[in-house]
Structure 1
């Protein structure tokens, strides 16, 4: 079985709209292991709705979860991460040390759009790149402005951003046009990471396997493993990743690389 890396799953008990208790968080971790995951973010929202979710709080909560998983011999490595809602203060908050990077390695920041809005990340990406930090666009498939504009997607990737897609969106696309756009992203090299966006065991369960299987049909198992496993695990561990640049319209990046 391929070892998957869930780069977007809420596992910190009682910190946001994810698991309310440690028991639910542990049950989610068991579910992820069954799905094939061996690495996962121990993630909580960082936005104005959760003002007490400081980097220190996320760090200590993730350590507590890791200790329980070790005690119960659940083979899942978890990494403290904040899901940062973009605002006009994001850069200042990062520099003040209040935001939690992916895995606490100060290499990547997982960001989402403000509710009901779409903002250009390029100014923030440029500012952070000079400090050695890249942006990961959380559940990027939600943003039609990005998904339906290959040139915009490419400009964000060229600026150092990585595109994360929710596994369920690939496994169960809600419209043919949406599926076609996701498939184009995948085949053009514009999907870099997979996440479940899991929040609980009854609602928004942490499911990865079906999304990985469908992705493998689109781009082949070898490349799907990079997206759903290899690259995510490296980022969560704080290791460098070499991700090929997407190709412009025409013959796809996937075709050029693999001869498809």
Structure 2
């Protein structure tokens, strides 16, 4: 599997605090079947502007250490960029790192509480520069949580949707879990990723989510589409999807079990 959203670089944002934690996260990722991972430290214009040179340096450092330790995981550079009107200009100045540093896909985070009025215009402006936007964990946005169909406006203009694997298994609570599942069921999700920050509760785990959504969906969202993104190729999108799919008995039992397990933990 390919994880396009991870905060594994040490001491650079609110993710891994040190190399020891990064190594533990890498070991967990490898044990979960993740072979490639994009390091996506936060970039918040005017608040937390991490320079690309530092990210590239940290990626090289971590990859060298993973090879020495024999951990079967390769790290690539990227960023999680907070949605703001400054993004197009920052791209023009070469300040931002696209996923895999490939110049084709940019991971963009919406505010938690609302969808800014300028959101669609800024995303359209990014697309005009030949770069596709991937919305990071929109299930955590309150307006989308209240109406998942709000995502269709973004997909119609070409944006992709990334859902957190930990959202699907209830780590962020029942409401977020329900929204994440609805996004997947409605065919509005294009990628699942871990958005890992630690080696504990927010570790890079995806197997539980994979068991829940099924082998076919996991293959598309965690393998095939991320591979296309890595290669800089087009990912198929459609907002003309059918009714929300219903999970089968086994999937519902798995969902209930995972929910109860999360509460106990």
* Shorter-chain TM-score range: 0.7 to 0.9
Structure 1 partner of 2:72: 75
Partner of 1:190: helix, strand, or coil?
coil
The alignment status of 1:162 with 2:156, answered yes or no, reads: no
How far off is 1:31 after superposition?
0.6
- Corresponding residue SS for 1:6: strand
Q: TM-score scaled by structure 1?
A: 0.85
Which aligned pairs between 1:248-259 and structure 2 lie closer than 5 A? 248=241, 251=243
State the shift of 1:16 in Å. Answer: 0.8
Q: CA RMSD in A?
A: 2.3
Residue 124 (structure 1) aligns with:
122
C-alpha distance after superposition, 1:204-234 (max 9, x if no partner)? 2221111121121xxxx12221102221133
- Residue 103 of structure 1: CA displacement? 0.9
Q: Which runs of 5+ in 1 are unaligned?
A: 255-260
Structure 2 counterparts to residues 49-88 of structure 1, below 5 A = 49-51=47-49, 53-88=50-85
Distance change (3 Å), C-alpha of 1:203 and 1:150: closer
Alignment of structure 1 residues 95-110 onto 2, 5 Å: 95-110=92-107
Using the size of structure 2 for normalisation, the TM-score is 0.83
Residues 23 and 181 (structure 1), Cα distance of their counterparts in 2 relative to 1, 3 Å cut: closer
Matches of 2:178 and 2:12 in 1, distance apart? 36
Residue 37 of structure 1 aligns to a residue whose secondary structure is coil
- Equivalent pairs counted in the alignment come to 244
The aligned runs of 1:189-228 (5 Å cut-off) are: 189-216=187-214, 221-228=215-222
Q: Using CA pairs under 8 Å that are at least 6 residues apart, name the structure with larger relative contact order, 1 or 2.
A: 1
- Distance in 2 (CA, whole Å) between partners of 1:104 and 1:207 is 24
- 2-structure distance, mates of 1:110, 1:137: 6
- Could you tell me which runs of 5 or more consecutive residues in structure 2 were left unpaired when the two chains were aligned: 247-265
Task: Provide the rounded CA distance (Å) in 2 between the counterparts of 1:42 and 1:183.
Answer: 25
SS of match in other structure, 1:7:
strand
**Residue 88 of structure 2: which of 77, 91, 95 is its match?**
91
